[in-house]
Structure 1
Amino acid sequence: MLSGKQKRFLRKQAHNVKPILQVGKGGVNSNLIKQAEDALEARELIKISILQNNSDDKNATAEEIASGAGAEIVQIIGSTIILYKESKENKEIVLPS
């Protein structure tokens, strides 16, 4: 579980990151979760945008992706989800304690 200080730090790190995944009208599926896992392993911090044609609840969508990928939700702002997961092999982000 991330502390408030760690979430603030990660939000700052994610500010200039572009969304690399999109959730469309098909919603969350196993392929999207697999792509999120791979992206998190490579980058540790990713943004996912929820398209306007997706009618699912944003919080439920974020929770489904995060639990499927084993990640932490940093923030849900507008239609953008920020996720963090510590990389096993490419660790770059050092969280404040």
Structure 2
Amino acid sequence: MIKNTLTGKQKRFLRSMGMTMDPVVMIGKEGVSPTVVQSAAEAIKKRELVKVRVLQNCMDDPEAAITMLAERTNSDLVQIIGHNGLLFKRNFDSPKIELPK
């Protein structure tokens, strides 16, 4: 089960930021492999908000793959549209994004 600690206002704010982002993590033919999880975790720790793309050659359902990645990285799933998803995890050591209350 995905934890969702974000309010609707915060999700809306993060979605607006994600509109202009390029995908950082790509899920390919291997699906959600340990390598993908590791690179996603590193990107999330560095950026807090990460756009994920499920490539056409991935055999998994895009929604299931992005949900699985969110669970394995312990991040909040902000949005899934088609083959793209937004993941967010707050970095308390060095925050990059100031969320609205």
Superposed CA RMSD: 1.0
5 Å matches for 1:4-83?
4-83=8-87
Identify the residue that residue 98 of structure 2 maps to in structure 1: 94
CA deviation profile, 1:45-97 (whole Å, cap 9, x unmatched): 01111111112112211111011111011111111111000013220211111
Moved over 2 A (4+): none
Counterpart CA distance in 1 for 2:34 and 2:69 is 9
Counterpart CA distance in 2 for 1:47 and 1:55 is 20
Counterpart CA distance in 2 for 1:92 and 1:65 is 21
Give the fraction of aligned pairs with identical amino acids, expressed as a percent: 38
- TM-score w.r.t. length of structure 1: 0.93
- TM-score w.r.t. length of structure 2: 0.90
**Does structure 2 retain, via aligned residues, the 8 Å contact 1:49–1:79?**
yes
